[in-house]
Amino acid sequence: MDIVIPLFDRFEPLDAIGPYEILGHVPGAEVRFVAPEPGRVTDALGALTVDVPTRYSEIGSCDVLLVPGGAGARALVADEDFLDWVRAVHGESGFTTSVCTGALVLGAAGLLKGLTATTHWAAVAELEVHGATYTAERVVRHDRIITSAGVSAGIDMALRLAALLTDDLTAQAIQLCTEYDPQPPFDTGSVAKAPAAVLERTRTLG
């Protein structure tokens, strides 16, 4: 089972690493990172570098394509070579998925037109430019296409995907293995719950 996650400069680290942690436990799965060019890519926060040996164009097909988001995803929206690759891989994949603003890439590739989809709450307008209708659901599935909301939602999506690739029991075992049992100290994890002051402070963060 071949799972491919493209990385790029200024990718959001948890978008990629959260699902990698979950999907790496799927029996028989191999998770591979690819990049626009072989070499090091640096995350959006600036301190995490990943050495990626494989150019995305070397991959012609895979069972699962997972596109993370981050500031660098917006550059890919205008990269026709990359979008052509996404379309081609999607044509053969079992599932094509996104986390956060990775949905903008799927949208720019024409995969979300006419569908409901989710992304980070700050990117709703950009998503709908591509013909998708935003929904605030954390994970949205349309047959082979699955989108998930911002950053941490990729873990939820990956667990659902693990169940689809194997079975509920295995996915639950992976959840226990990773001790994914969120108990956040604050209840401000969505725009619907966050007070105005929290939303305003969020807009000042890098």
* Average pLDDT, 10 consecutive residues per value, the chain (206 residues): 98 98 98 98 98 97 98 96 98 98 98 98 98 98 98 98 98 98 97 96 91
Structure tokens at 182: 């969120």
CA proximity to 24, closest of 2, 6, 54: 2
Q: Please confirm, yes or no, whether 177 is among the known catalytic residues.
A: no
What is the pLDDT at residue 149? 98
- Which among 34, 100, 109, 115 is annotated as catalytic? 100
**Residues 36/8, Cβ–Cβ less than 8 Å:** yes
CA dihedral of 153, 42, 92, 131, whole degrees rounded to 10:
60
- Which of 38, 62, 40 minimizes the C-alpha distance to 49? 40
Smallest Cα–Cα separation from 149: which of 201, 97, 86? Answer: 97
